[in-house]
């Protein structure tokens, strides 16, 4: 059985949202996959925001993996924009993990991710109630956006 869940976040350039179908319980790794659509919307919105004046261009588009395979030069504002998006989601997922297991929020360096996951295999297999878990993740994201950008989230 799956449960429909609507994600809605107000950002400086508009509202984004996604409807996901969640199992009743899910592992934290599944939670991260569940928000990928929302993360893609955040990136797309940031790109649109950056291109709003019409005098810039970007190769970023749905399905593009160029940034994942090669060194892509970015301006400092683009780097900050990408960091805001990726760090915000990493921080939120780290915070919720810390809350669930009663420890500090931890970010795992990418180069150590597999080794860390193997060492924490039991935590990775634990399943949680999906709706409260996703609700808390959205709350954390709202709190973060409000505290860093002074934005009121409705």
Handedness of CA 139, 143, 145, 151 (dihedral sign): positive
Cβ of 62: how many Cβ atoms within 10 Å?
7
| Cα–Cα distance list, 113 to 20, 28, 82, 90, 109 (Å) | 26, 14, 21, 13, 6
Do residues 7 and 138 touch, judged by C-beta distance below 8 A? yes
Q: How far apart are CA 134 and CA 139, in angstroms?
A: 9
pTM to 2 decimal places: 0.58
Domain ranges, ordered by start, for the chain: 2-149
pLDDT tens, residue order, the chain (154 aa)? 888 888 888 877 778 888 888 888 887 777 776 776 777 777 777 777 777 767 666 666 667 766 666 666 666 656 666 666 677 788 888 998 999 988 888 888 877 888 888 898 888 889 999 999 999 988 888 887 666 543 333 3
| pLDDT score for 131 | 92
């Amino acid at each position: 059985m799956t449960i429909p869940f609507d994600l809605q976040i107000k950002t400086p350039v508009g509202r984004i949202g996604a409807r996901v179908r969640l199992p009743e319980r899910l592992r934290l790794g599944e939670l991260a996959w569940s928000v990928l659509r929302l993360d893609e919307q955040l990136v797309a919105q940031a790109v649109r925001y950056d291109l709003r004046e019409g005098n810039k261009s970007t190769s970023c588009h749905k399905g593009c993996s160029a940034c994942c395979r090669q060194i892509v030069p970015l301006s400092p504002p683009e780097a900050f924009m990408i960091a805001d998006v990726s760090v915000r989601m990493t921080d939120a997922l780290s915070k919720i993990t810390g809350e669930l297991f009663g420890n500090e929020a931890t970010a795992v360096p990418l180069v150590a991710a597999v080794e860390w996951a193997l060492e924490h295999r039991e935590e990775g297999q634990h399943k949680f109630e999906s709706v409260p878990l996703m609700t808390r993740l959205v709350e954390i994201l709202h709190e973060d956006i409000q505290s860093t950008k002074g934005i009121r989230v409705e």
